[in-house]
Amino acid sequence: MSELRNRSTGFAENQQKDECHGEGEGETYEDLDSEESKSRVVESATDKAIEEHEFLKSIPKKYRNYWIRFVVTWILIGAFAVIVYGGVFPLSVLVIAVQLICFNEIITIGYRVYKTYNLPWFRTLSWYFLFTYNYYLHGDFLANFFKYYLMKKIFLNKVLSGFAQYHSFISYCFYLSAFMAFILSLRQGYYFRQFTMFGFTNLVLLVIVTQSHLIVSNLFSGMIWFLLPVSAVITNDIMAYMFGFFLGRTKLIELSPKKTWEGFIGGAFSTVLFTIALGHWLCGYDSMVCPVS
């Protein structure tokens, strides 16, 4: 048993050395520690600014966080209401923007692993694959939709009709060129890791881009299919915090010590009531339940 432990310990140490001191200019654990220390400095500076704010100093310490959340929540709800008032297209842009942010956050993790071994083209190929997936899922639908708005623009109408007619072939060419670029980027000795990251990228794209495509399709089928679930999530988050803040006594789970049974039950009950009322109200507007035409 002692020999096995020594071997496993040695393997773990070697693996850490390989990951920390690979070929090229890679990140080390010292870099990660410095990032964590920077985040701590930012948090402490934020806390200090809150404590020095005259208005917040006049509020009891228990209610300072509640007040900040209250103000920020209404600012976010107001901004979201403005976007909703703009209609389907601003909401679609919002969904795509969230997709890009999520993709960038997740793919950065893979980029750090790639950078450790100084392997080329990973970030560029990832974004090119993202463009290819988006074109395949959104291109045909948007080309057919917008060409009806451009009937008088003969040239643009012909271009969009061509994109719609040869959409599958163009998508195939995009993906084939991306795959060929990935093959050309392969390095001897790192095949396993490169194919692992290739699978990671495609899995991320499958999850994120497919979800955003379904959300945009729901928007064009009627805004109620987007607003109702989003409003339910927002309501549950707000009301769970409210009930937990004022009535919370019983811990819900050790993983998140601030969560309480009172907040969970109160948030769930409030969400059901609010969703029923909101759904009944939204059904009275044709712009909410009718598909965009």
Please report the pLDDT score of residue 44 as a whole number: 58
Three-state secondary structure call for residue 114: helix
The pTM of this model reads 0.72
Query: In angstroms, rounded to a whole number, what is the distance separating the alpha carbons of residues 148 and 65?
Result: 50
H-helix segments, the chain:
2-20, 29-52, 54-57, 61-86, 88-116, 122-146, 154-165, 167-184, 191-221, 224-247, 261-282, 286-289
Q: What is the tens place of the pLDDT at every residue in 18-63?
A: 444 434 334 444 444 454 555 555 455 555 555 556 666 667 777 7
Q: Quick one: three-class SS letters along 164-182?
A: HHCHHHHHHHHHHHHHHHH
**Tokens representing residue 241 in the block:** 């915090």
Say yes or no to pLDDT of 102 above 90.
yes
Q: What is the tens place of the pLDDT at every residue in 241-286?
A: 999 988 888 888 888 888 899 999 999 999 999 999 999 999 988 8
Say yes or no to pLDDT of 76 above 80.
yes
Between 149 and 237, whose confidence is greater?
237
Residue 284 backbone dihedrals phi, psi, to 5 degrees: -80, 0
Q: Are 216 and 92 in contact (CB under 8 A)?
A: yes
Between 31 and 120, whose confidence is greater?
120
Name the band, by pLDDT with cuts 50, 70 and 90, for residue 95.
Answer: very high
Name the band, by pLDDT with cuts 50, 70 and 90, for residue 202.
Answer: very high
The fraction of the chain above a pLDDT of 70, given in percent, is 72
Between 182 and 26, whose confidence is greater?
182
Highest average pLDDT, of 27-31, 109-113, 186-190, 222-226, comes from: 222-226
Mean per-residue pLDDT for 206-220?
90
Residue 60 zone, left/alpha/beta (φ > 0; ψ -120 to 50; rest): beta
Q: Are 245 and 233 in contact (CB under 8 A)?
A: no
Please report the pLDDT score of residue 176 as a whole number: 95
Angle at which helices 88-116 and 61-86 cross, to 10°: 120
Q: Are 222 and 288 in contact (CB under 8 A)?
A: yes
Query: In angstroms, rounded to a whole number, what is the distance separating the alpha carbons of residues 218 and 211?
Result: 11
Measured from the Cβ of residue 239, the count of other Cβ atoms closer than 10 Å reads: 19
Measured CA to CA in angstroms, residue 167 lies from 10, 139, 157 at distances of 54, 7, 15
CA angle in degrees (0–180, nearest 5) for 37-72-234:
105
Name the band, by pLDDT with cuts 50, 70 and 90, for residue 158.
Answer: low
Please report the pLDDT score of residue 204 as a whole number: 92
